[in-house]
Amino acid sequence: MGHLATLTPWHHWGMATQGFSANPFDVTNANLRAGTADREELARILGVAFAEGKLDDTEYEERLDSALQIKLLGEVRTHLIDLGSPKELLKRPVTAKEKATELKRVRRKRNAAIASSLGTWAAISVLMNVIWLLTTIGTGDPQYYWPIWPMLGVGIPMIITSVVAWQLAAREERKIIGGADERPQLPGPFTN
């Protein structure tokens, strides 16, 4: 899971959620008092289960009525235990603001990597050209333009680094936006 989720005071199984005050699936929290936010989160999860067809109308209404009256976090489990794994149930959708923030971070990281590569190349190119120019002026004869070789020697890996940084950022952007991470498979003898 990326850094998109807002962490709460607890995280379990590598997940984070914002709705519950503590992990309702952890038995040590069973006797903690449930608050309004806990009841609202339980109602949200039941609504998702209903929308996915896991609950019929009658069962959804019964569970929702009961959910809005829970007193302890331990009661959450009885409403959700047959609807899926705790990790699935406690997952919350990422907001548009969180996506935009994460996209900005990825793009800044990509731009910094490219700028760093370009800056290194530019500094080496300027240094080599100054040495070449001073040598040419000092001898009075036009010299062979040798700076092209160190410029190419640094420039080619810089281009490769920039392309890789761009591709990694594009992959992260697709994950954030919700697109597929995998490239399309070409037909061949070894594909499924």
Which range marks the domain in which residue 119 is found?
A: 96-177
Residues 5, 36 within the same domain: yes
pLDDT at residue number 129: 96
| Model confidence band, residue 179 (pLDDT cutoffs 50, 70, 90) | low
pLDDT at residue number 38: 87
pLDDT at residue number 93: 67
Of the residues 61, 93, 125, the one at which a domain ends: 93
Residues 77, 145 within the same domain: no
Residues 44, 113 within the same domain: no
pLDDT in tens, 100-131: 888 898 899 999 989 998 999 999 999 999 99
Backbone φ/ψ region at 14: left (φ over 0), alpha (ψ -120 to 50), beta? left
Q: Taking the model in full, what pTM does it have?
A: 0.48
Distances, alpha carbon 115 to alpha carbons 14, 110, 120, 153, in Å:
34, 9, 9, 18
Counting the structural domains of the chain, the total is: 2
Residues 47, 132 within the same domain: no
